Structure formats: C-alpha cells, structure tokens
Amino acid sequence: MKKQLIIGTRSSPLALWQAEFTKAELSRHFPELDITLKLVKTTGDVLLDSPLSKIGDMGLFTKDIEKHLITKEIDLAVHSLKDVPTATPDGLIITSFTEREDTRDVIISKNGVKLKDLPQNAKMATSSLRRMSQLLSLRPDLDIRDIRGNLNTRFQKFDNGEFDAMMLAYAGVFRLNFSDRISEILPHEVMLPAVGQGALGIETRVDDEQTREIVRILNHSTTEYCCRAERALLRHLQGGCQIPIGAYASFKNGTLTLLAYVGSVDGKIGLHNNITKTGLTSPEQAEAAGIELAEELLKQGADAILSQIRKTR
C-alpha cells in the first residue's frame, strides 16, 4: 500500500472544495496515508476574456492537470465530471465517480424573481450553450450574456449589477454555501443538466494499480451507471461541454432511465427523447443505453443541428 498520495486540482474555490472533500474521504478510509494537494493552472483558468464556445472545450479545465498525471507528478486528478471530455488520454482512466449532488440548475436573480417572471429582455448570464438553448426555447426575449470566472467572481459581477439574473449548477452553489441566494431550482422538465453534472470524476493512471485500488473506495455505483450512460450518449453524438446537449440519467433496482435534449443555440429547434432499460447488471449496459438513445436523436435530426453549430463555431 502506498504511503503518500498527491492530488492534482485547479485552484478555484470550488475545485479546492472538491479536492479537499476527496482528501478527507480518502483519509477517513486510509488514515495512514499522507495526502497533499498540487495546484495546477489550466487553460480554462487563464483564458477568461473569451466565451468558452469560442475557444473550444477539449479539456480546457482538465488537460493541464492530466499532463502532471501522465508525468507522475501527481497520483490522481479530481475534476468536475461535466468538465471531463468523454475520451480520456491514453494511459488515463476515470477510476471513480463520486456520489452525485443534486443535478439541477438554479436561477440567481434580483429580489428572488423566478424565470417566468423576469422582465422582458432581462439580462441573463451564462457561459453554457446548453443553458442558452433551453432558456431561449422558453424565453426567446432574454438577453443572454456570457459570464466567465469562478463562482465567487460570478456572484461579484451579479452583485455589481451587470445582470438581472444568472444560471448556475445547484451543486457548486450548495458546496460553496451560496444556497440562500437561489431564487429558483429548475426541474429537469424545464432544464436538463450537463452530462455528469453534480459528480466528481477521479482520474488515475491505468497502470497505477495501487492508487486505483485506493481511489475505487469512493466510487458510487448508482452514479457510475448514470454518468457512464450520459457520457456514452455525448460521445456518440460527438458533442462536448460547449454543444447544446443536456442529459440526465436515473438508476434504481436495475432500471435506468435516460432523458436527453439536443437543440440549436437560438433555442428555435429542440429535440427531446428518452429511454428506459430494465435488468441492467453492468455499467457497460448503461453505456449501451446511452448509445441507443443517441442513435434515436440522430434519426430525429440531431446530426444536422450539431453539424451546423460546429460549422458556425
């Protein structure tokens, strides 16, 4: 058994919360381990002047940490799973999917105003094309504004009066103790989340069996089934973090239900579909369900929507 572990992480408050949480959980199971954190600045942390959709999303928040993992400067990397591309670099693997927090998105607004009650042409801040697409399908009048930076920075911009409202993931808001600022929690019927939203992905080297054995203790089976189904859907659609694709899977007593959305950026076209599979006994079967639903969406016309988005962006 190893005596030391080095965790690689971004330095934002939320990323540090995630890394400290992982450290605490591992220490609880393996008190003899000496666990330290190594902070890594990623491309996504540096390029803050451009919308994410303009600079691409191929590992913006993960690639630089993965380099340290490949060169053995760290033993594991802790990521927000929604930031992790569906294809990991050769030699690396997501070993654990931690138990998921609430996957829903939330509205932060002035005076607690709900989405449907926001004034005409209200300035809504989000950096996500997925959220933009679904928002505009409901409220085409909204003035969508791009917002970058960590959660604290976003709240500061909102408090400075730059926007009427902003949309964030419940998980981050809750973990950093901003829950009292939530105006509305949006149900999945209104807003499907990003693939993997609310879960942490703990990445290790494939050949580091000792670390993988240690980290596997944090894997949450239900979350793994759900996230692998969602990630398989996204991978088959050749999507990414900055493509308007939303998905949410639930898994109970061997039954997986997967909901998905693919839409145009302006929200004028939106495809919804779902699949339910019973008797699942392996995560690979959950992945197969994700691929099957992706195929159904492609038959509905998802390929034409996504091709147009890729062409223009």
List, in order, residues 6 or more apart from 284 with CB less than 8 Å away: 228
Model pTM score: 0.93
| pLDDT tens readout for residues 287-306 | 999 999 999 999 999 999 99
Q: Span 256-272, mean pLDDT?
A: 97
| Neighbouring residues of 90: CB distance < 8 A, sequence distance ≥ 6 | none
Q: Which of 53-62, 112-121, 297-306 has the lowest mean pLDDT?
A: 53-62
- Residues designated catalytic: 83
**Mean of pLDDT values over 123-134:** 96
3-state secondary structure string across the chain? CCCEEEEEECCCHHHHHHHHHHHHHHHHHCCCCEEEEEECCCHHHHCCCCCHHHHCCCCCCCHHHHHHHHCCCCCEEEEEHHHCCCCCCCCEEEEEECCCCCCCEEEEEHHHCCHHHCCCCCEEECCCHHHHHHHHHHCCCCEEECCCCCHHHHHHHHHCCCCCEEEEEHHHHHHCCCHHHCCEECCCCCCCCCCCCCCEEEEEECCCHHHHHHHHHHCCHHHHHHHHHHHHHHHHCCCCCCCCEEEEEEEECCEEEEEEEEECCCCCCEEEEEEEECCCCCHHHHHHHHHHHHHHHHHHCHHHHHHHHHHHC
Evaluate if residue 260 carries a pLDDT over 70.
yes
Q: How much is the average pLDDT of 160-188?
A: 97
What domains sit in the chain, N to C, each tagged with a CATH number? Answer: 1-98+199-219 (3.40.190.10), 105-185 (3.40.190.10), 220-312 (3.30.160.40)
Where does the pLDDT of residue 28 fall: very low under 50, low under 70, confident under 90, or very high at 90 and above?
Answer: very high
pLDDT score at 45: 58
Task: Give the mean pLDDT of 163-192.
Answer: 98
User: Residue 51: pLDDT band by 50, 70, 90 thresholds?
Assistant: low
Which pLDDT score is estimated for 61? 77
Average pLDDT over residues 101-129: 97
| pLDDT at residue 256 greater than cutoff 80 | yes
